[in-house]
Amino acid sequence: MEKAVVMGWITVILLTLVAGTKSENETCRVIGQTGFMEFSKEGDLIIGGVFSISSTRKLVNNDYQALFTVEEINRDTKLLPGATLGYRLYNGIFANTDLYNCLCILNFVCIIHLSTCACLSDKRLYPTFYRTVPSDTFQILGLVQLMKYFDWRWVGIIYTKGLYAEEGVDKFIKVAIEEDICVEYAVKFYKTKNWNTVINTLTASTAKVVLLFMSLSYTKSFLSKMDDYNITGKQWVGSEAWITQTDLASVERKHILQGALGFALPQASIPGLGEYLLKLKPADEPQSTTVRALWEHFFDCSFTPSNTSAMCNGTEDLRTISSEYTDVTHFRTEINVYKAVYSVAYALHVLEHIKYVNFTTPNGAKVFFDENGDSFGRYDLVNWQMKEDGSVEIVNIGLYDTSLPDGDKFQLLDTNIIWGGNNQKVPRSVCREPCPPGSRKAINKRKPVCCFDCFECPEGMISNQTDSPDCMFCPPEFWPNEKKDQCLPKPTEYLSYKEIMGTVLTAFSCIGVFLSLLILIIFMTHKETPIVKANNSELSFLLLFSLKLCFLCSLTFIGRPSQWSCMLRHTAFGITFVLCISCVLGKTIVVLMAFRATLPGSRVMKWFGPLQQRLSVLMFTLVQILICILWLSTKPPFPKMNMMYYNDKIILECALGSAIGFWAVLGYIGLLAVLCFILAFLARKLPDSFNEAKLITFSMLIFCAVWIAFIPAYVSSPGKFTVAVEIFAILASSYGLLICIFVPKCHIIIFRPEQNSRKHMRVKIQARTL
């Protein structure tokens, strides 16, 4: 195969962007002649290379890298055995676009080491294009992951015209939206116009994070203008094009660049390259004007006679100087030249297309190409840590590697980060702080998705997550806490002995029992006296006993409801009250019968003697017992958690089970009470010696009034107050009977004993008959 043919088939176009690396106060000058061959070496196979050399640093980093790589490959006995590589390297300072159009499109295999534009991945336009530098698409994905990792959801962008910046920003915005990251503004920077718009936007914006996506030359122009403005509080994030350029740093820019973050091409070392460069002599490449210019620059000499500089002899030792050009311990962009040359060698070794190569270089770099001709994306996350003198140390703090699994692509390896904007911790950059638990997130259609609204959860609902889209109801037995971020068990409410109301009602119940017992003792002590024996003392004792039971049954309404207490409280109340009213009804009938018995020829008492009185009380009570049995056997009362009356608490109550049963018990008591009241009312004007009817009338009037008032109060009272109303009705009616019927008699027994005699009674009877 002819060398020219081989060279045409495997031509490798190695391009860099036109950029100098000297500080701003130095003049950037072109070294060598553009478009001319600078380096060459004969070999069995010739690699062609074109570099844009705008400074001596580019010469060191690119051309010499290619020379060193070829020499290293030729020394490898396993790679391309029996064949040697040669090269033709040209200086093409403005070659980027021309070479793409004239060579790559003409089916020459092009391996680019520095052009990152995503547009070059289009195989329809560039079918033979490959590159060892990652596409900007990967950088954009990494920048979005960086924003996501630090929860920067509200960012600004400053960029420039041109394919690199415009396509990069468009891609960033699209990917950012997918990750719920919003762009507050994307303003374009021009070197000669539009500056006020940029400054006004920066000043007025609320975004704390600003992405500066532009080339190095535009970045220099931007920062030089920013020197005149004191804009602080911003966390700057840079694009790969400028983030490692230390010559941008200065004391005046510390408030801007301090803490800047960005992704840079990964740093790597190439063993042997330093020694190779330090042994360089002009005689090694006599045709290269670039080497001669480099030598003159390093040693401040000239190869042509000059009145201002000493003559260069070409034997000067590069080891005697120290500059950025001889610092070759670590590389970033240059490693891609190394990988590009090795890609050609490996493709030739197995005689296969470049796109199929998959190998590891001697310095450990993995090389392969995807279907678009792109190598995988790997970046170092770097942090600008500036010193008081304005110098900067570019510190690696993490990485982004697209070859790793999802979730591991972005890694923060060093937490000792200097933050921008004078922040001591990770700056917050959000349009709206996340909606806290207890609220829900609502999208505002008139604002970006990151500028959402937060609404407090409605009553009875919670959200237990940040930025929850919805609030949820608590289970019926639970209620939200004050912050509405968790459901707590609802407090239960019932009439307890421990609370004041329960204690007071219990005290009145016990007092009623005590008074009933005291009166019973008084009556037992004076059971032979006329006032006790009048109107059947047995009924009086039974009434006192039933009143004691009435007072005691009120206690069953106090305390936590249970199955047995619910059944006991209503049935005990119904039966004891019927027993009580039956006794009062019996006494009323006795008063009427006793008066009839005094009439000549009357034999009424024969039909309503003590036996009949006991039977009547038993019969009336048995009817109530029967009603209660029917009630308990069909639908008995049961404990119930009432969650309808209050939202935030549970009422523990006794459900009636059968409302018919409950009202039947009350109705029967009311029927007996009304009957007793009517009979007592009819007997109210009988002679005083027999007249207990007045006291019974008054007591039954109180009884009926209490229970008539009870009905609306019972229906309308909430929670434990329903029980309290029922207990109050029991106690009030019981006290009414006790006081009205027995207290006047006790008053006579204790304080008017002279009136409690047969003689006194006969005198009263005689006075009545006269």
Same domain, 469 and 320: no
Pairing of strands 487-489, 301-302: unpaired
Q: Within this chain, do residues 645 and 520 fall inside the same structural domain, yes or no?
A: yes
Query: What pLDDT was estimated at residue 142?
Result: 96
- Do 652 and 680 belong to one domain? yes
pTM above 0.75, yes or no: no
The predicted structure's pLDDT at residue 5: 28
- Does residue 378 lie in a domain region? no
Query: Do 647 and 519 belong to one domain?
Result: yes
CATH number at residue 721: 1.20.1070.10
Q: Are residues 474 and 527 in the same domain?
A: no
What type of residue sits at position 246? Answer: T
Burial class of 12 by CB neighbour count within 10 A (0 to 12, 13 to 18, 19+): buried
Residue 741 lies inside a defined structural domain of this protein: yes
| Domain presence at residue 110 | no
CA distance 620 to 318: 129
584 and 686 in a common domain: yes
Q: How many CA atoms lie within 13 A of 768 on its CB side?
A: 13
Q: 336 is in which domain, residue-wise?
A: 32-95+269-364
User: Which parts of the chain have pLDDT scores under 70?
Assistant: 1-36, 52-64, 92-107, 323-330, 534-536, 594-609, 684-691, 758-770
Give domain status of residue 655, yes or no.
yes
Pick from 81, 89, 88, 84: nearest CA to 58: 89
CA-angle at 218, arms to 24 and 145, nearest 5°? 115
Distance between CA 42 and CA 26 in Å, rounded?
Answer: 37
Would residue 582 count as lying in a domain?
yes
Q: Exposure of 148 by Cβ count < 10 A (0-12 exposed, 13-18 middle, 19+ buried)?
A: middle
Q: Are 159 and 213 in contact (CB under 8 A)?
A: yes
pLDDT of residue 188: 95
Number of compact structural domains in the chain: 3
Domain boundary among 364, 397, 419: 364
Enter the DSSP assignment of 60.
I
Both tokens assigned to 665: 């018990």
Q: Is 707 found in the same domain as 608?
A: yes
Same domain membership, residue 690 and residue 563? yes
Tokens representing residue 615 in the block: 């039977």
**Position 220 in a domain:** no
Interatomic CA distance for residues 739 and 544, integer angstroms = 11
Q: For residue 673, which phi and psi values (nearest 5 degrees)? A: -65, -45
The pLDDT, as a whole number, for residue 596 is 59
**Residue finishing a domain among 489, 522, 555:** 489
CB 80 within 8 A of CB 73: yes
What's the rounded Cα separation, in Å, for the pair 175 and 597? 110
Query: What is the structure's pLDDT at 350?
Result: 83
One domain, residues 485 and 560: no
Last residue of a domain, one of 313, 335, 364: 364
409-435 b/e (C-beta count within 10 Å ≥ 16 → b): bbeeeeeebbbbbebeeebebbbbebb
- Name which of 261, 280, 260 is nearest 328 in CA terms: 280
- The Cα diameter of the chain in Å comes to 173
* CATH number for 312: 3.40.50.2300
Is residue 509 domain-shared with residue 453, that is, in the same domain?
A: no
